[in-house]
Amino acid sequence: MRALALLACAVIGSAAAPARGADFHVDPAGGSDTGDGSATRPWRSLQSVIERHVETRNWQSLPFTGKSLVPVNAGAPVKPGDTIWLRSGDYGALTILGAYNAAPVTVAAEAGATPRFTSVLVRSAQHWVLRGFSVSPTHGTSPAAGTLVVVENHGWSGPASDVVVDGFDVFTVPDERAWATAADWDARSANGVTATGDRVTVRSCWVRNVNYGIAVTGRGSRVEHNAVDGFCGDGLRGLGDDEVFEYNLVKNARDVNADHRDGFQSWSVGPGGVGTGVVRNVTLRGNVIIGHEPGVRFAGTLQGIGCFDGTYDGWVVENNVVLTDHWHGISFYGAQNLRIANNTVLDLNAVDPGPPWILVTAHKDGTPSRDALVRNNLTTDLSVTGDNVVAGGNLLLPADPAGYFVDLAHLDVRLAAGSPAIDRGIAGQAPAADADGIARPQGAGVDVGAYEFAPGATRPPDGTAGPGGAPPGGGSPGGALPAPPSGCGNPSGDLALGLVALVAAAGRLWRRA
């Protein structure tokens, strides 16, 4: 057995790309272009290192169509599998262009360091892991980029794919009170993160004071454990097949222009334009969407999960919490093979607009939705129609949901002892765990909504969220809130402090128990 295991390891090892794991260092203040990248003789310019010192690949010639990848910088010190560590300082605008690594090259903040960038662009590149950057136009004097972090395909220079953006602190301004008016907010807010490439992961990022938060359009991309706080466009956008959005926190939409804001939005694009295609196999799990917290300036209504231009095929929407002052809690116009299970949806207040619904209805072209299951949701309104569109185990909240939740006034929508939602759900096709990662069912049966009542269970501690994560976006009201991005290992001092403040603030708001 042991020999077999060793053999398997050897085979896997030989099949995988070289995993050298060598370390290099960049110090924009104390480094030198004549350094060797060692800890004692760090390089000075990251941009120069990326362009000259990484053994990578690019197309034989451009345009890339029909071309092959050929070696670039053969023999350079930084190989696939290596890490470039960044010390504190100003790095300006970073561009990674035409660099297709055979295996991931990691560029990461050193422990305790804050590498500051004015923008980050990854175009026509593959297998990059970027970790622990602070990205803001306030780190420089140039005009703000339209989008602060971009991972993009390009028709001339080639696609981008397999990029990880991890533990970033992304903001237009650190304090939105710098914007005196709604017009300032509208005109000055940059977009946070946009990725058009396939298999892009955006994880444990804190994106704040932006127009659009995080938008991914590539196949197989993941957006997980992020916090988007303060935005005037959409919080999250997902337009690609096989995407996963889980355990993100989206809150504080600003009404500063004529846009319809969504916590999450998707639409199809086909031969006839928007609404004539299909978006397939997207999962929305354990996200917390809060229209706005009390006292937020320019607070505006927010559509929760807005899927208005199908067809949406094979989607799963489970364990999400949507608290918003609008009618659109979770809305699907034109869906098939859809499951909406164990979500909690309710209004932030008792006034118009709202209360929010869970809606499954026909495509705007009139085609009925079909083959959908709407199960175990706790919501203020429910409207599902179509062919084989089945609702069961859902509970409609009364106008005054006293007794349902631990502390609704502070947006803790875990179930209170004695809540009418306890044990009222249907076991079949309920998610195996709740929004905190607690196994279902507890007690006599599955509960309705995103949380299982489990007084004896260990909830994720403050600062962590959901199964398997500990992010700034984590997001389960009532305790599972944002922690510093554990994945990045090296959150900057500012970022860590900011996240601590965020956690503390959210903890006060969400867990006054």
Binding site for Ca ion (CB under 5 A): 325, 347, 349, 354, 423, 441-443, 447
For Ca ion, the closer of residues 27 and 325 by Cβ is: 325
Beta-bridge mates of residue 222: 201, 244
CA–CA gap between residue 258 and residue 264 (Å, rounded): 17
**Residue 494: how many other CB atoms lie within 10 Å:** 14
User: Shortest gap between Cβ of 324 and Ca ion (angstroms)?
Assistant: 8
User: Shortest gap between Cβ of 415 and Ca ion (angstroms)?
Assistant: 9
Is the N-terminal amide bond of 355 cis, ω within 30° of 0? Answer: yes
For Ca ion, the closer of residues 425 and 473 by Cβ is: 425
The pair of three-digit structure tokens given for residue 121, joined into one six-digit string: 């662009």
For Ca ion, the closer of residues 446 and 499 by Cβ is: 446
- Residue 295's Cβ-count burial label (10 Å; 0-12, 13-18, 19+) is exposed
The pair of three-digit structure tokens given for residue 20, joined into one six-digit string: 């050298």
For Ca ion, the closer of residues 159 and 354 by Cβ is: 354
Number of H helices, E strands in the chain: 4, 40
For Ca ion, the closer of residues 184 and 381 by Cβ is: 381
Query: Among candidates 255, 454, 264, 427, which has minimal Cα distance to 342?
Result: 427
The pair of three-digit structure tokens given for residue 293, joined into one six-digit string: 């917290």
User: Shortest gap between Cβ of 347 and Ca ion (angstroms)?
Assistant: 4
The pair of three-digit structure tokens given for residue 328, joined into one six-digit string: 């659109």
For Ca ion, the closer of residues 272 and 456 by Cβ is: 456
User: Shortest gap between Cβ of 296 and Ca ion (angstroms)?
Assistant: 15
Tell me the residue ranges of DSSP E strands in 363-421.
370-375, 378-379, 382-384, 387-392, 395-396, 405-407, 412-415
User: Shortest gap between Cβ of 343 and Ca ion (angstroms)?
Assistant: 16
User: Shortest gap between Cβ of 422 and Ca ion (angstroms)?
Assistant: 5
User: Shortest gap between Cβ of 454 and Ca ion (angstroms)?
Assistant: 7
**Residue 499: how many other CB atoms lie within 10 Å:** 24
For Ca ion, the closer of residues 166 and 347 by Cβ is: 347
CA–CA gap between residue 269 and residue 159 (Å, rounded): 19
